[in-house]
Structure 1
Amino acid sequence: MNKKLRGNLLLLLTALIWGTSFVAQRAGMDYIEPFTFNGIRSLIGGIVLIPVIFFLGKMNPADDKEESTEEEKKAENKTLILGGISCGVILFVASSLQQFGVVYTTAGKAGFITALYIVIVPILSFFIGKKIRPIVWLCVLLSLAGLYLLCMKDGLSINKGDFLVLLCAFGFSIHILVIDHFSPKTDGVKMSCIQFFVCGIISLVPMAIFETPVWSDILDCWFPILYTGAISCGVAYTLQIIAQKDTDPTIASLLLSLESVLAAISGVLILHEQISPRELIGCIVMFAAIIIAQLPSKTERLSAKNHE
């Protein structure tokens, strides 16, 4: 239960960082183009993690080296590289779609449609054989209703930007499930570092072909790039990988969807923005869904009693 609580808290922190970084992403589009922005911020995210990996290696020099055979080390490294590359490719696709999408739609709609992974993840999980408690399905529907109240102000309509962001939601759903598969099997920080370098390097190819990056514009955009690179990528995505070792992917998607709520709250506290009663109800409904989803099942309650 302690590991589960730690994982949930780390995912809440991840949602908080993503919620505040959405503004920085949109601000970046005023200076540079999407592939340039994603490429540079992803490479910054990977670079930030190199000293972290070195520091953790110094803190845990043994790391079970004596117990592992050569074959086990090779298998572990293969899993690490495969996981990092897989996550990096999927992250490139999802983040690029999102970055292009926000150019053509409103921030509220982009936030709502991106967070549709709260519905997509349990559906995909069901098809790959994962069991999902009925109460969690209810929480998914509650979160969806809360998101609608929070983000959607002009009703439902789909334009070019909305469609791109919808594709991005599928991408992030697959990203969550791939992390769920690899994170318990390998070093989360190293895998995160690889994923960012892969995402960044791939982004540089279409940047060179389709865009014309200008150094003065990149320098003018230093704060959005640095914030989203070091904090949103380097810190938040790494926390997600570490946290998902001990969290069900559907619960993880619910917790991460709070980025929309936390973005609204941070706007009120930091930017002194106004929040309408409708948006406040949406926040309350989403928080209620998260709390209900965290309630232990009958099996977990019986197990806890037995341990007592």
Structure 2
Amino acid sequence: MTRLQANSLLLLIAVIWGASFTVQKLSGDHVGALTFSAARFVLGALVVLPVAWMEWRRVGGVAGRHWPGLVATGLALCGGGILQQVGIGGTSVTNAGFLTGLYVPLVPLIGLVFLKARPHPVVWPAAAACLFGTWLLSGAGAVDLAWGDLWVASSTVFWACHVILVGHMARATGMPTTVALVQFVLAGVVSAVLAAALEPVAVADIRAAWFEIAFVGILSVGLAFTLQGVAQRHANAADAAVILSTETVFSAVGGMLVLGERPGLVTLAGCVVIFAAMLAVQLAPQTKDAAR
């Protein structure tokens, strides 16, 4: 695979993830957030099951000491997915996409607190810029975010933990596809139990949301995460950081084209500030390494 092909694949992944915000928003017309989360994670698990099974047989299974980490990874994915899905129902796709991106500066901050990993200095101004961008998203007045914005913002803590845990567990086990399968299964089971207890679940409603469930379950959950690992074996790290960050842009474009969302200038300015902060966090370390 050439660098151009890898970058093109990364762009496709960003489009899928960005478009998923619009599809997730539309799913709320048919099923609850917990039901949708359960369906998409279970479907994603079915997509990666054949590859994970071959990987399991080749490597010989997961050591017992790794299971606590796998469970933590699945719970982080479940928490982030549910909170984000609930929040999307109460905010715009544009806001949901950019607020989700707040996990980018959170990753090094969590690493500093729990892993004693010193982050790049750019993290601190980037974190402040993200807070400023969030204020702009709220209208640049008194901080009065919609209830959905607060749910989506809270999901970023889980997403940041998930990013850290996935990288650690993939390296520790040497079985990235199996890690994906286990976390999808766990997230799907937990979401299903919560849905059965807290939401009215009807087969007719699930059938009505079949397209949304299939799109996110197959493409966003099952396919895109797998393709990301394939593409980044051949792509320049700086290219990958920039291209994958554009999912936030595609989420805004999807909201405008499909849902007719028309963000104002102040909201767009907030999006630009958050996007710039995300790029700075990802690209500054790459620039430093390249200069050595």
What range describes the TM-score normalised by the shorter chain of this pair?
0.7 to 0.9
Could you tell me how far 1:287 is from its partner in structure 2?
Answer: 5.8
Confirm whether residue 191 of structure 1 aligns to residue 191 of structure 2: no
Write the distance in 2 (CA, Å) between the matches of 1:209 and 1:49: 28
Is residue 216 of structure 2 the alignment partner of residue 217 of structure 1? no
**Could you tell me how far apart the structure 2 residues matched to 1:284 and 1:98 are?**
21
SS in 2 for 1:134: coil
Deviations 1:224-280 (A, max 9, x none): 010011111112334457789999xxx999875532212224556788977776638
2:104 is aligned to 118
Q: Give the TM-score normalised by structure 2.
A: 0.76
Q: Select between 156-165 and 35-44 the one with higher mean Cα deviation.
A: 156-165
Q: Report the counterpart of residue 168 of structure 2 in structure 1.
A: 181
Structure 1 residues without counterparts, runs of 5 or longer? 66-72, 303-308
Whole-angstrom distance in 2 between the partners of 1:106 and 1:96: 17
Choose 1 or 2 for highest CA Rg: 1
Q: Are the equivalent residues in 1 in contact too, given 2:107–2:164 (CA < 8 A)?
A: yes
Structure 2 stretches lacking a partner, 5+ long: none
* SS class of match (1:31): coil
AA of the residue aligned to 1:100 = V
Counterpart pick for 1:230 among 193, 207, 218: 218
Give me the whole-angstrom Cα distance separating, in 1, the residues matched to 2:250 and 2:50: 29
Q: Distance in 2 between matches of 1:175 and 1:167?
A: 13
Aligned pairs for 1:42-191 (under 5 A) are: 42-53=41-52, 57=55, 76-78=62-64, 81-127=67-113, 128-138=115-125, 152-153=138-139, 155=141, 156-185=143-172, 186-191=174-179
Match of 1:16 in 2: 15
1:193 positional shift: 1.1
How many residue pairs match? The answer is: 282
Superposition RMSD in Å: 4.1
Query: 1:19-68 CA deviation, whole Å, 9 max, x = no partner?
Result: 100011111110011111111111000001123335x65xx98x5x6xxx
- In the TM superposition, residue 208 of structure 1 has moved relative to its aligned partner by 1.5
Q: 2-side partners of 1:228 and 1:113: how far apart?
A: 19
Aligned-residue identity in percent: 29
